[in-house]
Amino acid sequence: MRVTRKLPAVFAGLVLVCCVVVGGASYLAGVGIVRSQAEGRLMAVAEGRKDKLLSVLNGVRSTLLSNAQSKTVRAALADFEKGWVQHGSKAGSILIKSYITDNPHPENERAELAKAGQKPYDRSHSKFHPILRQLAQENGIQDTLLINSEGRVVYSVRKRSDFAADLRSPEWETANVALAFERAMEGGAESAHFFDLQAYRPNSDKPTSFFSAPVSIGNKNIGALIHHVPTDKISLLLAEYADLGKTGNVFLVNENGLIQNDSHRTDDVSELLYSSLSRREVMSVLGNSRNYVRLAGLLGADVEAAVVPFEFLGRNYAVVVTQETAEVEAPLTFLMNLILGLIVICTLAAVAVGALVARGLTGRIKRLSDAMSQMLDGNPTVEVSARAGGDEIDDMATAVADFRTIEIRRQQLEVDQWVADEESDAQAKRVKELVDRFVADVATA
């Protein structure tokens, strides 16, 4: 390979190696920084959402216990049950007809009916229903149920199909609302119980969760108070996506791996009761310490996830904050493109500088080579430029110039010797001619 190609290649190779090493180190450092910042950011969001969620849940729990222990709820349950008993064995069908079938209000407005004309239950209903309805509205409770000790729903605010239901019948005994009732009846006076989302037929099969607490007089539980927890409230609480970019999401997961909130990022899809997060990376965190993991293929994309566990009323949950890996690592893509661009620019610059240096060196070398060729061809008068104190090529040029000087002197000596030889031969010839003439003159005398 000629020097004009070798030098640019060497320059480019050295620069390329240096750029790759420095760029690779910079990229790896960038990866560490970006991932560390992402982990800190997602963990902070998860911790914040967990604290807010616990605040809301504890608020609902406090409201439930306060209501269950109030004189109003105790009196209401006792009066409703008394009115129920007076209607006899047909109490359920009579009250369903009065408050549901013949209710003049639309299904979602049945709570507006305070009097249905069915005494004596109607007297209790007209007295306590406005109070209980207002309590539910003020505290954001979707529905309130009062159940007697036998498991009969003797009152509900919204008058759906669970009103007058027998929660101990085979039809209801496996439903979460029935389990919530049984747990309340087994618990102490100040105990509260929570049951996760389950499709609930009276609520149009929408996922519904329940808070329950016993209604007691002294140490005796006379029934139970159950609140339907609105999923919209929890979903709205978790739907704060500040610091989560365009793809960030927040989920509440129970110990069965089922999502307990509906993301506002996907208006056309409800994530309630999805099992997408029922994964080892998430489930192993419940009941343990928080973790930061990468989840592949979550809702169609790889995501970075901060998983923060917590416990509420004896049940394990986790707040999972996610953001698509592509968005998290977008700065790394920019950094990689920047590094690659700089490598290309530096390599091209190295090639250009190498070409310029090679052209300058090879030009001087070629001139020196041409001079030496002419000297070899017998032309010692060729011009050889050399700079004192220059580089190695100038040293070579100085040596060639010295050689040229010596050659010129040698040739001059040869010329001088030849001239001297010619003069000596001419003198000898003249002497010989003089001698020959003298001999001839003597012979003729």
Q: What is the pLDDT along the chain (445 residues), one digit of tens a residue?
A: 666 676 667 767 777 788 788 878 877 887 788 889 999 999 999 999 999 999 999 999 999 999 999 999 999 999 999 999 988 888 999 999 999 999 999 999 999 999 987 788 989 999 999 999 999 999 889 999 999 999 999 999 999 999 999 999 999 989 999 999 999 999 888 899 999 999 999 998 999 999 999 999 988 999 999 999 878 888 999 998 988 999 999 999 999 999 999 999 888 888 999 999 999 999 999 989 999 999 998 878 899 999 999 999 999 999 999 999 999 988 888 878 888 888 888 888 877 887 777 677 777 777 777 777 777 777 766 776 665 556 677 777 777 777 777 777 877 787 778 888 888 888 888 878 777 777 777 777 6
CATH fold match for the domains 69-229 and 243-328: yes
DSSP 210-263: EEEEEEEETTEEEEEEEEEEPHHHHHHHH---TTSTTT-EEEEEETTS-B-S--
Q: Which fold has domain 69-229?
A: Beta-Lactamase (3.30.450)
H/E stretch holding 153 reads strand 153-156
Structure tokens at 389: 């104190």
Pick the CATH number of 243-328 from 3.30.450.20, 3.30.420.40, 3.30.230.10, 3.40.630.10: 3.30.450.20
CA distance 200 to 214: 22
Is residue 154 a contact partner of residue 236, using CB atoms and an 8 Å limit? no
**pTM to 2 decimal places:** 0.75
208 three-state secondary structure: strand
Task: Tell me the domain boundaries of the chain.
Answer: 69-229, 243-328, 380-441
